[in-house]
Structure 1
Amino acid sequence: MLIFGDAALLLLLALFVDALIGDPPALWRRIPHPVVLFGKIVEIADQDFNTPDLTAKQRKLYGTLFLAGLVFCSLLVGVLLEVILRGLPYGRIGIVAIAAVFLAQKSLHQHVAAVRDGLAREGLAGGRKAVAMIVGRDPEQLDESGVSRAAIESCAENAADGVTAPAFWFLLLGLPGLIAYKAVNTADSMIGHKTERHGAFGWASARFDDLVNLPASRLCGLFLALSAPVFGGGIGRTLSDMRRDAPSHRSPNAGWPEAAMASVLGVALAGPRAYPGYKVDDPYMNPQGRRELDASDISRALAAYRWAMAVQAFVVGLVAIAHVYL
């Protein structure tokens, strides 16, 4: 296993590589992305062990056993990779490359920016088309404010579970922690829904994903709060708003970065939303904030995201420096 300070230095390099290169489409057209492989495993398990002839109790048991096996195998793969790479000359370069693959700084920025650009170039139709790629709500019921709000919420939430959380688990447990986290997060995204099909089978994946994302969601909210002065706000005010609003979010984790982002930008996020087949009537994050949003607000959210990721990298750098000199 990587020691804490060593992991911090490698993580700092991985964050830099990911921010610079991201996910090259040419590479992943030739070989499957590891997250795609996780998705195939989850899909097979869903087909084989989540059949209509089983009772809800059986499906819940099978889903729990599947998750346990997935986590165990992911940890094992991570341990083997780390042991092998640490034994090779320049093997730490391989560790940095693998870590960078599982981070999503640049790709998240690109997907959210695509919504802004779609609104700017093609109007509402372009924005709806782009936002449908990153959120699950019904795009046809979104106006310009709704499209912009959805993109900003996605930016905030995925900053936590797409960047801060994998970084946190790599820092704590090295490649085993990083790979196991991404496996759990992929399972949750595919089967962790409160639907008739997945409510029982995906129960364990959803609950465990909530648990492993708990520290990173708070940290990401803190990183966003630390960027507040750049946008004319105060760190203390943003932290206060986040603590007030986040617990009212339907997710135990997504509310923290979303509430922080809402406070930093001075806008209202979340609130009533429409998904295919149903609607939710949730409270707003930062309810006193501006509710009429447009593409310029997405640009401001992306700027806040970049600042928060810079703060995160700075903190990781401090950990690495402390390991060298203390």
Structure 2
Amino acid sequence: MLLSDTALWLLLAALLLDAVIGDPDWLWRRLPHPVVLFGRVITMLDTRLNRSDRTRAQRRARGLVTLCLLVAGAGLLGMGLHLLFSALPFGDVLTVAVTAVFLAQNSLYTHVRAVEKGLSSGGIEGGRKAVSMIVGRDPARLDEAGVSRAAIESCAENFSDGVVAPAFWFALAGLPGLLIYKAVNTADSMIGHKTEKYQDFGWASARFDDLINLPASRLSGLFIALAAPLARGSILAAVKTIAADANKHRSPNAGWPEAAMAGALDLCLAGPRVYPGYTVQDPYMNPSARRDATGRDIARSLRLLIGAWAVMTVTVTGLALANIV
């Protein structure tokens, strides 16, 4: 299944389906989203295995067991779906539908756009309320520039792990690869925190999530850089910012799309960020650029998001056509 023409054409169809339809509310009001089901499994394992009376080594070991169970379970589920769909005459349609469910281009655009709308219609409180839906920062500590930068950074980072990464792993390993990626990424978002409760139990999930996001983060930075002219930005400036600042980020992955976004928009992003209970002291991306981001900059980041998605879609199409020749 490694980058086969069939997988690439199915991925292309899924990318287009997600872009047009996204996550229909009417469906997920009636059925639990698959990511929610992953979350329930992770919560169950967390409750049963992550006990405060265990030593740090024991909690790390139990966290590793949790990761292995998630990878094995998601992989088996993905293989089961692949075998089932392969036996059905309309199996490719089902594969496209399932793949589209795990892509987040449409919903990412919608949530980031809501922050821009919140700022324009509800002022700082409207922006804080909207941005609290997509970032974990303390919204009360954010001014307009902070709200705008948070939305733009979330746009960049989630393009990588919500769009490019699942697409990459589906192209590489089909439904098993896609489901394993989403299970691990969900685990990282739930237990991969550097808090007293999770710094040991969530360590394995956080490190494995870093590993499997390495390819997509680099590709995301490239896609965003190539789309820079759509936001009246410079491809060269985006590439230079990636080279200068991407590796300064505490995450081995988030720095790439964030640096690309910072360079393309000529904005200073990242830096110290306040979360409930703790502060992250990250260096700035593109530190010499302006920091007073506004709702107009969020709109420019959304144009970049669409452009980066288009670059990725053209790349997938080109690879599919190359496999035919």
Relative to the length of structure 1, the TM-score reads 0.98
Task: Please tell me whether the aligned partners of residues 10 and 96 of structure 2 are also in contact (alpha carbons under 8 angstroms).
Answer: yes
**Does the residue aligned with 2:199 lie in a helix, a strand or coil?**
helix
Deviation at 1:239, TM superposition (A): 1.3
| Count, aligned residues | 325
Mapped to 1, the partners of 2:90 and 2:322 lie a distance apart of 23
Moved more, 235-244 or 31-40: 235-244
Mapped to 2, the partners of 1:176 and 1:247 lie a distance apart of 30
Match of 1:155 in 2: 155
Match of 1:81 in 2: 81
| Residues 218-239 of structure 1: per-residue CA shift (max 9 Å, x gap) | 0000000101233343323321
Given residue 251 of structure 1, which amino acid in structure 2 is its aligned partner? Answer: S
**Does the residue aligned with 1:201 lie in a helix, a strand or coil?**
coil
Match of 1:246 in 2: 246
Match of 1:135 in 2: 135
Mapped to 1, the partners of 2:104 and 2:79 lie a distance apart of 22
Deviation at 1:262, TM superposition (A): 0.5
Match of 2:125 in 1: 125
Mapped to 2, the partners of 1:125 and 1:237 lie a distance apart of 33
**Does the residue aligned with 2:293 lie in a helix, a strand or coil?**
coil
Mapped to 2, the partners of 1:198 and 1:167 lie a distance apart of 29
**Does the residue aligned with 1:274 lie in a helix, a strand or coil?**
strand
Match of 1:113 in 2: 113
| Residues 26-83 of structure 1: per-residue CA shift (max 9 Å, x gap) | 1001110000000000000000000111111111101101111110111111111111
Moved more, 49-58 or 229-238: 229-238
Deviation at 1:317, TM superposition (A): 0.4
Mapped to 1, the partners of 2:117 and 2:56 lie a distance apart of 44
Match of 2:4 in 1: 4
Map 1:165-244 → 2, pairs under 5 A: 165-244=165-244
Match of 1:309 in 2: 309
Alpha-carbon RMSD across the aligned residues, in angstroms, is 1.0
Mapped to 2, the partners of 1:17 and 1:312 lie a distance apart of 15
Deviation at 1:284, TM superposition (A): 1.0
> Is the alpha carbon distance of 1:232 and 1:112 closer, same or farther for their aligned partners in structure 2, counting shifts above 3 Å?
closer
Mapped to 1, the partners of 2:280 and 2:90 lie a distance apart of 51
Moved more, 3-12 or 139-148: 3-12
Match of 2:70 in 1: 70
Task: Please tell me whether the aligned partners of residues 159 and 220 of structure 2 are also in contact (alpha carbons under 8 angstroms).
Answer: yes
| Residues 105-159 of structure 1: per-residue CA shift (max 9 Å, x gap) | 0000011111110000000000001111111111001000000000000000000
Deviation at 1:281, TM superposition (A): 2.9
**Does the residue aligned with 1:62 lie in a helix, a strand or coil?**
helix
Deviation at 1:4, TM superposition (A): 1.7
Match of 1:48 in 2: 48
Q: Which consecutive unaligned segments of at least 5 residues does structure 1 have? A: none
> Is the alpha carbon distance of 1:141 and 1:3 closer, same or farther for their aligned partners in structure 2, counting shifts above 3 Å?
closer
Mapped to 1, the partners of 2:34 and 2:296 lie a distance apart of 34
Relative to the length of structure 2, the TM-score reads 0.98
**Does the residue aligned with 2:284 lie in a helix, a strand or coil?**
strand
Task: Please tell me whether the aligned partners of residues 136 and 275 of structure 2 are also in contact (alpha carbons under 8 angstroms).
Answer: yes
Mapped to 1, the partners of 2:130 and 2:231 lie a distance apart of 26
Match of 2:102 in 1: 102
Mapped to 2, the partners of 1:281 and 1:212 lie a distance apart of 25
> Is the alpha carbon distance of 1:247 and 1:3 closer, same or farther for their aligned partners in structure 2, counting shifts above 3 Å?
closer
Tell me whether 1:33 sits opposite 2:33 in the alignment. Answer: yes
Deviation at 1:289, TM superposition (A): 1.3
